[in-house]
Amino acid sequence: MIKFCMRIFSLIAFSISVLFFVISNAFAGSPTKVGFVYLTTPGDHGWTYAHELGKQMVEKRFGKDVKVSVVENVPEGPDATRVIRELAKQGNEIIFTTSFGYMEPTLKVAKEFPNVKFEHITGYKRSKNVATGNIRFYEGRYIQGVVAGLMTKTNKIGYIGAYPIAEVIMGINAFAQGLKSVNKDASISVIWANTWYDPVKEADAAKVHIAEGADVLAQHTDSPAMLQIAEKNGAMGFGQSTDMSAFAPKAQLFASINNWGPYYIKKIEELRNGKWNTGDGPNHWPGNVWGGIKSDMLVISKFQNMPANVAQKAQEALDGIKTGKINIFAGPLIDNTGKEIIPAGKALDDGALWGMNYYLQGVNGKVPG
Amino acid sequence: MITFIPRDKVSKNWIIIAPILSIVFTIFFGLLIFTFLGYNPLETLYQIFVSPFSRIDRISDILVKACPLIIIGTGLMLCFKSNVWNIGAEGQFIMGALLAGFIALSFPNIETKFFLLITILAGFVGGALWAFIPAILKTKLNVNEILVSLMLVYVAMLFIDFIVRGPLRDPMSFGFPLSKPYPEGALINKIPFPGIGFLGQLHYGILFVFLLVPISWIFVNKTLGGFKINVLGSAPQAAKFAGFKQNSITITVLLLSGGLAGVAGVIEVSANIGQLQPEVSFGYGFTAIIVAFLGRLSPVGILFAGIIIATVKLGADNAQMTMGIPKVVTGLFEGILLFFLLTGETLQKYKIKWSEGKK
């Protein structure tokens, strides 16, 4: 009986799948198939939402010329390998994997599908058909430091970090550089949330900062929770990844917005023109695409909830970064134990940024681990 | 007040009819929800139930996904049968993977696959040790094992997080929390099929499932140990009267289920990840609780329950890829499916009696 049922079942399954295969092939044609893998859902209003906006720009730009498939909530492990492989099998020609933890899964699948192009976001390993892309988030954090330095009355800045990795540490140090440029008395305290996204933990960290006297908060985590706490307690803060002013109309000073759209569009365009490449070469650390304010991959939202003179200083910092007049990590750089990192006249290169495991002057405490 | 009264005799017809009705109800509500939300309901059902079987490599994906669920579920079966509520398989999974990973990374140049015997054994020991904590607390101090085993999950999660950020972090990982890759000898390879190559991620770890299911069937149905577990669960007084030592059974089932969860952890990491990272489990230990009950606490049932759960999970991914249905919607459908399956199962065995509420 069971055997019989199984046979019938597999027969039905087989015939339906054949049918679908035929149909899908009949309509296959011009559109470029593009796959996206998301860590959470666009409902996080942070990291993944920013990617979703980028995806929407792709759809708007190419219209019927692309067909986009998205898989959300993919854990960074074997599930990622399976989902990426499935996207490749379904004929996607370029697949964007939008979280660091997809690095090994992406490389693994890329080996099996040499003709499919892969773009891994925020990773550092590449191969023939795996390119990487990242944003210079730290540029926005420098401007945050400038604004924080002018806005704080207690001279205490509360910073919520996700994990003590180079990417986050360079953000803290950039913030400290901006802070120092306008206010030598203020200092930054860091609380590690040990998560990228956990509204409860982020809110708790924000409460601790406020209880300890911080009146300007910054975050390198993804949810709007910190800003909501700031809003309730009369503190100020900065939006992360997307404009979060809807969550904190009175507390958000500005947001550093991740703008992935232009990068996605550029890479898809390259693919369609047969010019896709991994851009490997020197000075491409950590990715062949590491764009910031200048290349429009990092967008600074409207300056709000601040006096005109502060907004003007912020605008100057923004312009300075855009024109290259401000080099955030130019010497002399001294870490917070007094050790010289680089003398005057020199500046840290990209490689050195990714080796950061120290705090610069203006940050309290030391890097864990 | 609603009370459940055990039926004197479970009707043979209903054993067949109940699951069919459950499926019919699930499909009906599924159709309703999908139509209401504006998705083609038939195609959605196709994606969830049929598409995972539509290609041979997709079937292999089901097996890969079901593998840890079945291994952990089998261990949990022993616990639940004897009324020991081990909710912490997730933590035991992690500790098994971690201890095995520690040993694997201590021998960076080892190539022989015999080394796998050692890492799998280490996984068993790691998981069993983690389960030994609630076991000893329950038997010596009468501490509730549900709370202890559950809370140890979070300890295990934080512990592996600490280990891969600190002591075992690969110095070449630019500060990212990853261990070095495992040596060749600690990796479970994918199974090559002549003429086809690899089928997705299908790996030799699957063989363990095919060993485990018959062995656990024999253990439960044909040995004195299995008999003791059954008696202890269904008639504790009788077990006492027969002179079975309740404490030693409790400790044994916890060690076995913890050990099996640990082995599942080793297989998962060695076959699919190849290094330690902050997250290795993704809720297998919790999902396996559902698998154990869905499989009616029987080895063969758990095999099928693991496959069903894995199928629906993969189907949900497929529905998202091809039709753009968000995971929350397919998650809702999964919930409906489980609800009706378990309701059907319960109503087979129990009558519902409505009575005036007494407070």
User: Is the same domain home to A85 and A96?
Assistant: yes
Place of tokens 């339906």: A16
What's the rounded Cα separation, in Å, for the pair A254 and A244?
A: 9
User: Is the same domain home to A68 and A88?
Assistant: yes
The CA-CA-CA angle for residues B201, B206, B207, to 5°, reads 140
Contact yes or no for B324 and A70 at CB 8 A: yes
CA atoms within 13 A on the CB side of B109: 0
Within 8 A of A35 by CB-CB distance, chain B residues are 321
| The two three-digit tokens of residue B68, written as one number | 């840890």
Interface contact B189, partner A, CB < 8 A: no
**pLDDT digit string, tens, across residues A170-223:** 999 999 999 999 999 999 999 999 888 889 999 999 999 999 999 999 999 988
Does residue A22 lie in a domain region?
no
B165, B201, B268 ranked by CB distance to A82: nearest: B201
What's the rounded Cα separation, in Å, for the pair B243 and B240?
A: 5
**pLDDT digit string, tens, across residues B182-228:** 999 999 999 998 888 888 889 999 999 999 999 999 999 999 989 99
Residue type, B63: L
Does residue A26 lie in a domain region?
no
CA atoms within 13 A on the CB side of A187: 11
User: Is the same domain home to A348 and A326?
Assistant: yes
Interface contact B51, partner A, CB < 8 A: yes
User: Is the same domain home to A232 and A313?
Assistant: yes
User: Is the same domain home to A164 and A224?
Assistant: yes
Closest CA of chain A from B46, distance in Å: 9
User: Is the same domain home to A246 and A265?
Assistant: no
Q: Which of A43-47, A73-77, B86-90 has the lowest mean pLDDT?
A: A43-47
Element (H, E) at A135: strand A130-135
Which residue has better confidence, B324 or A56? A56
CA atoms within 13 A on the CB side of A340: 8
CA-to-CA dists, residue A189 to A141, A227, A366, B244, angstroms: 15, 17, 10, 60
Mean pLDDT on A311-339: 92
Residue among B67, B153, B66, B89 at smallest CA distance from B286? B89
Interface contact B301, partner A, CB < 8 A: no
What's the rounded Cα separation, in Å, for the pair B87 and B285?
A: 8
Confidence of residue A4 (pLDDT cuts 50, 70, 90): low
Does residue A313 lie in a domain region?
yes
Does residue A183 lie in a domain region?
yes
Does residue A86 lie in a domain region?
yes
What's the rounded Cα separation, in Å, for the pair B53 and B100?
A: 33
pLDDT at A25: 46
- Residue A360: beta bridge partners? A335
Q: How many CB atoms lie within 10 A of CB A107?
A: 20
Residue among A113, A88, A6 at smallest CA distance from B53? A6
pLDDT at A16: 54
Q: What is the mean pLDDT of chain A?
A: 88
Determine the 3-state secondary structure of A155 from DSSP.
coil
Output the tens digit of pLDDT for each of chain B's 359 residues.
Answer: 778 888 877 777 887 888 888 889 988 999 999 999 999 999 999 999 999 998 888 999 999 999 999 999 999 999 999 999 999 999 999 999 999 999 999 999 988 999 999 999 999 999 999 999 999 999 999 999 999 999 999 999 999 999 998 888 887 777 778 899 999 999 999 999 888 888 888 999 999 999 999 999 999 999 998 999 888 888 888 888 888 888 999 999 999 999 999 999 999 999 999 999 988 988 899 999 999 988 889 999 999 999 999 999 999 989 988 888 888 888 888 889 888 888 888 888 888 888 776 54
Which residues form the domain of A335?
A: 138-257+301-353
Q: Which CATH number do you get for residue A65?
A: 3.40.50.2300
Is-contact B261 B141, C-beta < 8 A? no
Contact yes or no for B166 and A369 at CB 8 A: yes
Interface contact B270, partner A, CB < 8 A: no
Closest CA of chain A from B138, distance in Å: 32
Does residue A84 lie in a domain region?
yes
User: Is the same domain home to A173 and A251?
Assistant: yes
pLDDT at A283: 47
| The two three-digit tokens of residue A185, written as one number | 């008395």
User: Is the same domain home to A161 and A173?
Assistant: yes
Is-contact B175 A171, C-beta < 8 A? no
Determine the 3-state secondary structure of B90 from DSSP.
helix
Percentage above 90 pLDDT, chain A = 66
Does residue A147 lie in a domain region?
yes
User: Is the same domain home to A275 and A208?
Assistant: no
Within 8 A of A350 by CB-CB distance, chain B residues are none
Interface contact B328, partner A, CB < 8 A: yes
**pLDDT digit string, tens, across residues B221-230:** 999 989 998 8
pLDDT at B201: 85
Which residue has better confidence, B237 or A280? B237
Does residue A150 lie in a domain region?
yes
CA atoms within 13 A on the CB side of A299: 15
Contact yes or no for A79 and B282 at CB 8 A: yes
User: Is the same domain home to A232 and A148?
Assistant: yes
Residue A332: cis peptide before it, omega within 30 degrees of 0: yes
CA-to-CA dists, residue A53 to A57, A60, A246, A264, angstroms: 6, 10, 16, 11
Residue among B338, B345, B315 at smallest CA distance from B327? B315
Interface contact B188, partner A, CB < 8 A: no
Rg (CA), chain A: 23
Maximum alpha-carbon separation in chain B: 71
The CA-CA-CA angle for residues A348, A350, A355, to 5°, reads 80
Over 70: is that where the pLDDT of A10 sits?
A: no
Q: How many domains are contained in chain A?
A: 2
Is-contact B92 B127, C-beta < 8 A? yes
Interface contact B163, partner A, CB < 8 A: no
Q: What is the mean pLDDT of chain B?
A: 90
Residue among B344, B328, B290 at smallest CA distance from B33? B328
Within 8 A of A79 by CB-CB distance, chain B residues are 65, 282, 317
DSSP letter string, B325-336: --HHHHHHHHHH
Residues of A with CB under 8 A from a CB of B: 10, 12-14, 16-17, 20, 35, 41, 69-73, 75-79, 81-83, 85-87, 89-90, 100-101, 104, 112, 124, 163-167, 169, 194, 286, 354-355, 357, 369
- Whether the ipTM is more than 0.85: the answer is no
Is-contact A36 A55, C-beta < 8 A? yes
User: Is the same domain home to A272 and A313?
Assistant: no
Helices (H) and strands (E) in chain B, counts: 13, 4
Determine the 3-state secondary structure of B256 from DSSP.
helix
Residue among B60, B130, B124, B97 at smallest CA distance from B270? B97
User: Is the same domain home to A72 and A90?
Assistant: yes
Is-contact A58 A25, C-beta < 8 A? no
Over 70: is that where the pLDDT of A265 sits?
A: yes
